[in-house]
Amino acid sequence: MDPAAGWTGSLFQRYLDGGLAMHPITACSLIAAATIVYKLLVFRRVRRGGGGLALQVRALLLDGRIAEALDACRRDGGPVGLVLRAGLVKHGASREEIERAMESVAAGEIGHLERYQGLLAGIVGFAPLLGFLGTVAGMIGTFDRIAQQGLSHPGPMAQGVSTALLATAWGILVAAGTKPFHGWFASRIAACARDVEIASSILLETFHEMERLGAPAPR
């Protein structure tokens, strides 16, 4: 007999022994995996160091090279670049209008990054509850058998308790695997929001300085 096949069969049997609660927990794990892959692809375009782009744009603006500044933001393609570009195309408008344009784009970009964060958080909290529910259901069945048969056969009763705990173990495992990704995404979102805020401030101050000093003619 193939040892790998035997191990797989034993694992599958343990899964079936865990009861009906194992299936919704597995569904949670698949949803979490798909969501994590989606968000990883989304975050591929989010670069750290948005302040570096803002400083580059600042230097180009002070030199009158607005078209090159716009092009640099377009090439970046991330939230910081899109927010700066929204401000750049409003160059010459009032400070309030520029701020509104950047805030609108920033809200949309951060909202896109936050998409499905609530779903991951829900799975982290819900999967263990499903596991506990499955364990409680299994324990009720075990105690029903004890009431009917007494304690003269402790082996099957202990096996029943062990089987009932499988659902809890599976629920905790799914939650434990999802939680680090949820936390990492949350930290990246917070860092991106800070980068956007810093870059927006740099751009607004650059416009103010251009007005105060008299910037070179755009080229």
Tens digit of each residue's pLDDT (9 = 90 or more) over 36-74: 999 999 988 776 556 688 999 999 998 888 999 999 998
Q: Is residue 132 over pLDDT 50?
A: yes
Query: Is residue 157 very low, low, confident or very high in pLDDT (cuts 50, 70, 90)?
Result: low
CA distances in angstroms from 160 to 17, 31, 156, 163, listed in the order given: 9, 30, 6, 5
Mean pLDDT of 142-152: 70
Say if residue 155's pLDDT is above 90: no
How does residue 111 score in pLDDT terms, banded at 50, 70 and 90? very high
Minimal CA–CA distance to 86: which of 58, 106, 57, 110? Answer: 106
Percent of the chain with pLDDT over 70: 85
Reported confidence tier of residue 5, pLDDT bands at 50, 70, 90: very low
CA 122 to chain centre: 12
Q: Mean pLDDT of all residues in the chain?
A: 85
Residue 18 predicted with pLDDT over 80: no
Residues 6+ apart with CB under 8 A from 101: 86, 87, 89, 90, 93
Question: Is residue 166's pLDDT more than 60?
Answer: yes
Q: Say how many residues make up the chain.
A: 219
Task: Read off the pLDDT of residues 203-216 as tens digits, 9 standing for 90 and up.
Answer: 999 998 888 776 55
Question: Which pLDDT score, from 0 to 100, does residue 37 have?
Answer: 96
Split at pLDDT 50, 70, 90, the class of 2 is very low
Q: What is the pTM of this model?
A: 0.81
Q: Integer distance in angstroms from the first to the last C-alpha of the chain? A: 77
Q: Which residue has the higher pLDDT, 156 or 11?
A: 11
Which residue spans within 57-212 are E strands per DSSP?
none
Q: Indicate the domain borders of the chain.
A: 22-219
